[in-house]
Each structure stands twice: as structure tokens, then as C-alpha cells.
Structure 1
Amino acid sequence: MTDTFRTTVHAMAMPFVVELDDADPAEIDGALAQFHAGLVWADEVFSLWKEDSYLSGYLRGDLVLEEAPHELREVLEACEWYREATGGGFDARRKDGVLDPTGLVKGWAVTRASRHLRAARAADWMVGASGDVLVAGNRPRRIGIADPRVTGDPTGTPVVDVVELGGAFTALATSGGAQVVDHIWDPVTGETARHYMQVSVAGRDLTECDAWATAIAGGGPRVVAAALERDLEVLLITGGRFDGTYDAQSSPGWPSVR
């Protein structure tokens, strides 16, 4: 029988759920502390809401990139790479000109911090981060995708789909306006993106899935084909009907188990 340890840590103004299967009890606390510290550190570097973050200081002109952790340059360069890869669907520069890498920072931060979970010697583990999920190990995990019409904590509410992560798919990212209204913009028009109610992307790298989910939500149908060419799978909640239901489309390889 699998012995699963489950806890929640808070950072970046959101909860991160961690599950460790058959972990070494003597190593769990240390591994979780390092994982949590990694997320807190990411917030101190990239937060746009903290005046003393490195990103805020850089945007104000109070420091240059060489004075910030090298990861700031790494993420900004990744934003530019994804802008080109998505044909402009992902763009970290907002209409007002402010550089905002939020569209991939969460996935990047989870990927970076999760390396500390290896110290717990768990057979399998999972991190859930407000719509984004990263797993490791051999155990298949079934993950529900929240209904975009539900605001706040979706726990206990009906889901729009259930996917299985593990094996070919170890990462899942979801982007939309359910929890933070009108925070995704269309890079072409500069206005709030209304292409889809919600976009989910499944693949093997959470940073990649996070960036492409944002790109599809912002750039619309033209970006979907490019995502599929990179062996990503997508679920699109395309709009609501008059009766309160919604339309959805998924790619052929989407890992649904419903």
C-alpha cells in the first residue's frame, strides 16, 4: 500500500499542494522547506506587486540585470524565446509597455523548486499550483480540470474533464480568467483576450505548458496548430451557451479518462 504524505505551502499569493508517495520520513521536512524556500525566492525576484523585488527594481531602472540574480535574465530570455516560438501569442510586454513575465514564472518556479523534492526520496510526487500540475515517478495520477465558471477554490465542484498524468504527460497548465478576471491580453490588439473561456495544455515540461497555455489564451486559434506541432495536447473551453453549458474542443491525443 502506498503511503502518501500531503501538505500545502503558500507562496506567490497562492497555495501549492504537494503529495509525496513512500517518502523517507526523516527527509520530508527538509525537502519541503527547501521547496517552499525556492518558491518564496522566486516571488522575491519576479513579483510585480512587491516594490523591493528584483524585477520591480529593474523595471524602475534602480538596477541593471547584472545586479540581479542570473535567473531574472534567464526568464526574460525565455519570454522572448516563447514570443518567437508562439508567433507572438505569448508576449511578456503588456499594452502599457510594462514587462510582465507572469505567464510563465509560476511554471518555471515550480519546476525549479521541485528539484528539492528529490531529497525526500519519494517513489512518486505531485505538485498542484492553482491549475498547474507537475508529477514525477511511475504512478498515474488523475487530475480534474476546474470548470472556468467557478471562482474561488474549486474543491468539491464538478470538473470539465479528468486527465491522467504520468508517462507521456507529466505536466499540465491551465490558463483563463476564472480566478483572475481579464488578466490575459491579446498581443495583437493589446486588449483583453476573449478567444476562449479556458485553455489547458498537457506535455512533459511545466514551463513550456504554462507558456503555451498563456499563448493560446492570448493569441487564439492561430497558436493552437503551433502547439500541436510541438507534441503538446490541448483542451479548449470555447464559450458558454444560453443554457449555462459550454462548448469544448480537444486535440486527438488529449489524455482524458472520462
Structure 2
Amino acid sequence: MTAAVLERRAWVEQVMGLPVSVHVRGPRPGAAADAVARLFAELRRADAVFSPYRDDSELNRLERGELALRDADHTMPEVLHLCGEARRRTAGWFDARGLPDPRTGRPRLDPSGLVKGWAAERAAGHLAGLDGHGWCLNAGGDVLVSDADGHPPWRVGIEDPAAPGRILRVVEVRSGAVATSGDAHRGAHIVDPHTGRPATAVRSVSVRGPSLMWADVHATAAAARGSLAGLPPGYSGLLVARDGTVTASPDWPG
């Protein structure tokens, strides 16, 4: 099947405080509607469990002592374990502990730097049965794609942090993820876990790899560290420094 005859359909919802879009291309993209609905439902459930902004989320109830971990959603222990694993894999540059509460500024547990990629990756499992179709899931700029035989690669734009809305680079991806962390949209929200102060050495870091969750974790860790050192095999990065200098891993495409 050539790109000229591929039909496309897109869905967009506001979930987890972010615009989330799903693009499907293939012979009958409309047939994906039920799978996409289940995808969005799973993201909304993850938000109900892990949102640091919702007073009624299980995460906030756990923080306030109103909910015991044994009584929480079954995914809570999984995510807390993954946060510990992320801290280990990044030599402490990703740490969900002691982060400032987005509403009060007080230190707290906030796994949202891992949860978005984790939840999007889980939700994308609902698209796995779309034989002959490719799809792209974009969760607030973090992108996970899958193609089908004969389809062209997806083209993922990397935003210029100095001019949001302008594309700095374009990377072609057939299967896998591209995640970006930085201060272009949310200000200096990434914390150096070793000092407890905002990490300001870089404007943005984009990481490409097979897993969206781990690409997002490593992008956040690289932004906190201020360099691309520490990316594991299979992952590559593009870093924009505070002065606008752009550095790429040797294996970054293009």
C-alpha cells in the first residue's frame, strides 16, 4: 500500500491536563474508533489514580494518609516500583521523591514524570490489533508510533524551545517513541534531585527509543543532569542548551 492511498483519521481529547491525539492510517481507520475509545478511557483512569492536581486522586489520598497502599489501585505498587527502578537506572537523576507539590510547593512523592509515558504506553496496547494500520499516539508532545508493512515512516517534529510552535528538527520513526522534557511550556519544573534546586542548564532534551516510558524518564534525567551522558543502549538524544547550542548523540538519526 502506498502513502497516496492511505486513509487517515484522528481523535483528540484533553486528558491528564494535556491534549492527547491518536492518528490512525490504513485501509479503514474508522474501524479503530472502539479501540481509541478504550485507550482514552484507560488514560482517564490513570489520571484518576495518579494525578497530583486532583484532590480525589488515589495518589493524593495516599499522601494525606487517607488510603493505604494495600487498598490502592493495583497499578500503584507497579508505578512506585518503576520509579525506584528509574532512579537506579539513571544514577539518581530521575527521582520521584521530594518533588515540589504543583499546588503548594511542599516536598512530596510525584511520579507524574514517569506516569505519562507509562500510561500512554499501556493505553496504546488497545491499538495492537489494528492489522494493516499504522498509528501515532501523541501525549502532550511525547510520541509513540507503530507502522504497518508498506507504510512510510512517521515524521515526528522536535519543537524549538526558544520559539514554541516552530520545528527545530524532524525525525522519521517507524516504530518506537520520542519524548521531550524541558521548560518551554511549564517553566523550570525539572528539579536536580541532588541539590533540590531547579535544573536550568538546558532548554530541552528529546530522547528517542523503543519505550515511551523510558524515553520520557531518560529525557527528564538528561534535563536534570544537563547532558546526554547516561543514555542506555538503544536510546539517543537531542539536547538544546540554555544558550541555544544543539547537541545530538552520535546515533541520533539525521
| CA displacement, residues 125-175 of structure 1 (integer Å, 9 cap, x when unaligned) | 001112210001244111111111235xx2xxx3111111115xx100000
Q: Determine if contact 2:192/2:224 at 8 Å carries over to the other structure.
A: yes
**Residue matched to 1:233:** 236
Do residues 165 (structure 1) and 170 (structure 2) align?
no
Q: What letter is aligned with 1:166?
A: R
Do residues 147 (structure 1) and 135 (structure 2) align?
no
Do residues 211 (structure 1) and 211 (structure 2) align?
no
The Cα shift of 1:199 comes to: 0.4
Q: What letter is aligned with 2:230?
A: A
| CA displacement, residues 93-149 of structure 1 (integer Å, 9 cap, x when unaligned) | 135530011111111110011111235445210011122100012441111111112
Among candidates 38, 58, 64, match of residue 60 of structure 1: 64
Q: Structure 1: state its 5+ residue gaps.
A: 241-245
Q: What letter is aligned with 2:245?
A: D
Q: What letter is aligned with 1:85?
A: R
**Residue matched to 1:126:** 136
Following the alignment from structure 2 to structure 1, what is the Cα–Cα distance between the partners of residues 54 and 226?
Answer: 31
Among candidates 174, 186, 195, match of residue 192 of structure 2: 186
Q: Which moved more, 1:2-11 or 1:38-47?
A: 2-11
The Cα shift of 1:219 comes to: 2.2
Among candidates 102, 113, 119, match of residue 112 of structure 2: 102
Q: Determine if contact 1:197/1:239 at 8 Å carries over to the other structure.
A: yes
Q: 1:25–1:189: structure 2 CA closer, same or farther, 3 Å change rule? A: closer
Q: Determine if contact 1:24/1:120 at 8 Å carries over to the other structure.
A: no
Task: After the TM superposition, list the runs of 4 or more consecutive aligned residues in structure 1 that deviate by more than 2 angstroms.
Answer: 23-29, 94-97, 118-122
2:229 counterpart SS class: helix
Following the alignment from structure 1 to structure 2, what is the Cα–Cα distance between the partners of residues 252 and 9?
Answer: 36
The Cα shift of 1:26 comes to: 6.2
The Cα shift of 1:29 comes to: 2.2
2:107 counterpart SS class: coil
The Cα shift of 1:27 comes to: 3.2
Q: What letter is aligned with 1:77?
A: H
Q: Which moved more, 1:170-179 or 1:97-106?
A: 97-106
Following the alignment from structure 2 to structure 1, what is the Cα–Cα distance between the partners of residues 233 and 66?
Answer: 39
1:17 counterpart SS class: strand
The Cα shift of 1:64 comes to: 1.2
**Residue matched to 1:85:** 89
**Residue matched to 2:248:** 250
Q: What letter is aligned with 2:36?
A: L
Q: Which moved more, 1:37-46 or 1:18-27?
A: 18-27
- TM-score using structure 2 length: 0.90
**Residue matched to 2:103:** none
Following the alignment from structure 1 to structure 2, what is the Cα–Cα distance between the partners of residues 150 and 132?
Answer: 18
Do residues 45 (structure 1) and 53 (structure 2) align?
no
1:190 counterpart SS class: coil
Q: Structure 2: state its 5+ residue gaps.
A: 100-105
Q: 1:58–1:122: structure 2 CA closer, same or farther, 3 Å change rule? A: farther
Following the alignment from structure 1 to structure 2, what is the Cα–Cα distance between the partners of residues 230 and 181?
Answer: 30
